[in-house]
Chains A and B, each alone.
Chain A
Amino acid sequence: MTGALLFGTIGMVDVFLAMAILIVMASFVSLYRGIEGPGIFNRIIAVNVIGTKTIVLLVLIGFIYERPDFFDIALVYAILNFIMTIAATRY
């Protein structure tokens, strides 16, 4: 499972872990917009962006811990995120 030929002792799981940390950092940067505003619409897109990043994060976690349950959670989270955005913009 490790890309030892190319990456020395770094396995693919470590790459996934680095990507997950990167996504979490990007989410925190987006959270700045969510807190600072200005206005409600910037906060709505901030929540939407963080939600879509969370989908990829869930899939990555599923690969890191090799637990297929996380993909179902990611699918449901995608649908919920979409419905949440539509509902928030309707009202």
Chain B
Amino acid sequence: MNIKHFIATYIIVFAFWILLSAHFDRFHVGAGIVCSSIVAYASHDLLFAGVGNHTLTKIVRFIAYLPWLIYQIVLANIDVAKRALSPSMPIDPQVVTFKTILRSDVARTALANSITLTPGTVTIDIVDDVFYVHAIAKEPADDLLEGAMERRIAHVFMEE
């Protein structure tokens, strides 16, 4: 049992409790202390399992990546709304596959969720390092295969 991890987990869990309960009387804070101890004891080795040397850099880069992602989400929504509301419904669905250069699970999860949220593409399946992506028309598939998003994710998780 790593005491440093236990204390760090305890502080995070207790801060979470305070934020969610928003009561500061004796009963609620006491219950928070007891519950945080139990949860921190049960899961003190989970939260910091993947922490290495570059974790802080990765988190900072991920936060820097978020505005671009939100911009892409807005574009995706306008795209889908246009397709859904236009009378002719200009869709031509197809499944494309590509091999990824990303290695870690976290990076692949981030890429899969980003693909799902960006214009015209939904991740269907990942088998080893092959992504199966469903594209709603031809242009989004071509944009995806160009690989701009993958390079961004690789930069975030330092796997280039």
Write the residues of chain B forming the contact surface with A, with a CB cutoff of 8 angstroms: 20, 22
Contact = CB atoms under 8 A, between A and B. Distances in A.
Contacts of B22: 68
A14 interface: no
Contacts of A68: 22
B100 to A, nearest CB: 23
Interface residues of A, number: 3
A72 B22 CA distance: 11
Contacts of A72: 20
A26 B20 CA distance: 30
Nearest to B22: A68
3 contacts: A68-B22, A72-B20, A75-B20
A75 B22 CA distance: 15
A75 B20 CA distance: 10
Contacts of A75: 20
Interface string A67-89: 01000100100000000000000
A44 to B, nearest CB: 15
A19 B22 CA distance: 28
B17 to A, nearest CB: 13
A61 to B, nearest CB: 19
Contacts of B20: 72, 75
Nearest to A75: B20
A28 to B, nearest CB: 18
A5 B20 CA distance: 35
Nearest to B21: A72
B24 to A, nearest CB: 15
Interface in A43-79: 68, 72, 75
A24 B22 CA distance: 30
B116 to A, nearest CB: 13
